Amino acid sequence: MSELLQVADEVRETLDRGEAVVALETTLVAHGFPAPHGVEVGLESEAAVREAGAVPATIGVLDGRIRVGLDPRELERFTPEARKLGPRELAASALAGEVGATTVGGTLAVARRTGIRFLGTGGLGGVHRGFTERFDVSADVPTLARSQALVASSGIKSLLDVPATTELLETLGVPVVGFRTSTLPLFYSADGGPPLQDRVETPADAARLAVAHWELGGAGLLLASPPPESLDVAGLIEEAVAEAERTGVAGQAVTPYVLGVLHERSGGRTREVNRTLIVANARLAAEVAVAYAAP
């Protein structure tokens, strides 16, 4: 295991001192944005985590190892050619010596092995639209249900079937908690989502809730924070999802395809909102991690 999993010294030392660490994924870097914007978003997210007083641990597969904590030059290797890794692909990709970009699910699986409890992302993966015809549920959800970790996101990616995903999260016992909101943020847009029963007003309250949930043997929680800038692109999403379906784009390719179409058709506006919300969620995850680590 020690051979396969390589934790950066700074991350290891910070964890050993019981201080705040936030896991970040590499799928966003490789596939969430057209190059070179993904790397910029990754670096900005790391900077936001540091500003909040935590240490970033960006996770990905390089040179036969599952790496926890990457330097900027290593981050640049996560180009669109990188393989997208959910939890099931981690081992094979490492053994094959590929460059592997971890999704939220893949990142959580590694974070769990490493003892990292906080992660920031854009929107959680979930139940894809049209799942009754063609089953497609992101491994993000079951992996979160198995990990004692809190994920800060702007809700669930609204290109998915949001009601079906919230039902599945309930089935799996994953609390969905609004951060200063009483409705679920819809990724690009702050409003219009289903009501949430639980909300918190501060990172310290979020940390307290996570601790209580974990004390009861619970596992993952989703902390849902509205995007700093809100954009209503429901029509464009319909269009892009229908187009993916028509052109036979399926499985792991759906999310990057739809995000790409949205970025293009919105004149780059979805890309800008996506960037700001990812960085804000990285910062929020760090603030909760810092509150959790505080004596």
Among 24, 49, 104, 279, binds ligand PSU (CB under 6 A): 104
Whose Cβ is closer to ligand PSU: residue 114's or residue 165's? 165
Whose Cβ is closer to Mn ion: residue 46's or residue 136's? 136
Q: How far is the CB of 223 from Mn ion (least distance, A)?
A: 23
Rounded to whole angstroms, how far apart are CA atoms 38 and 232?
23
Rounded to whole angstroms, how far apart are CA atoms 185 and 123?
9
Among 252, 271, 286, 292, binds ligand PSU (CB under 6 A): 252
* Contact partner at residue 67 from ligand PSU, Mn ion, none, CB < 5 to 8 Å by partner kind: none
**Residue nearest ligand PSU by beta-carbon distance:** 122
Tokens 């996506």 correspond to 274
Rounded to whole angstroms, how far apart are CA atoms 162 and 85?
23
Q: Which amino acid is at 63?
A: D
Among 14, 22, 32, 56, binds ligand PSU (CB under 6 A): 32
Among 90, 255, 261, 290, binds ligand PSU (CB under 6 A): 255
Among 25, 46, 89, 136, binds Mn ion (CB under 5 A): 136
What binding mask, one character per residue, do residues 133-152 give for ligand PSU by CB under 6 A, x or -? Answer: -----xxx------------
Rounded to whole angstroms, how far apart are CA atoms 192 and 45?
27
**Phi/psi of residue 167, nearest 5 degrees:** -65, -45
Q: Assess contact for 114 and 19: CB atoms under 8 A.
A: no
Contact segment (CB under 5 A) with Mn ion among 104-112, 113-121, 134-142, 225-233 equals: 134-142
Q: Binding to ligand PSU (CB under 6 A): which residues in 257-276?
A: 259, 274
Among 60, 69, 100, 125, binds ligand PSU (CB under 6 A): 125
Whose Cβ is closer to ligand PSU: residue 5's or residue 137's? 137
Could you tell me which residues come within 8 angstroms of residue 167 by beta carbon, excluding any fewer than 6 positions away?
Answer: none
Could you tell me which residues come within 8 angstroms of residue 23 by beta carbon, excluding any fewer than 6 positions away?
Answer: 57, 58, 59, 68, 107, 108, 110, 111, 114, 116, 118, 119, 149
The CA angle 201-148-141, to the nearest 5 degrees, is 85
Binding site for Mn ion (CB under 5 A): 136
**Residues of the shown chain interacting with ligand PSU in the complex, contacts defined by CB under 6 A:** 25, 27-28, 31-32, 103-105, 121-123, 125, 138-140, 157, 252, 255, 259, 274, 278
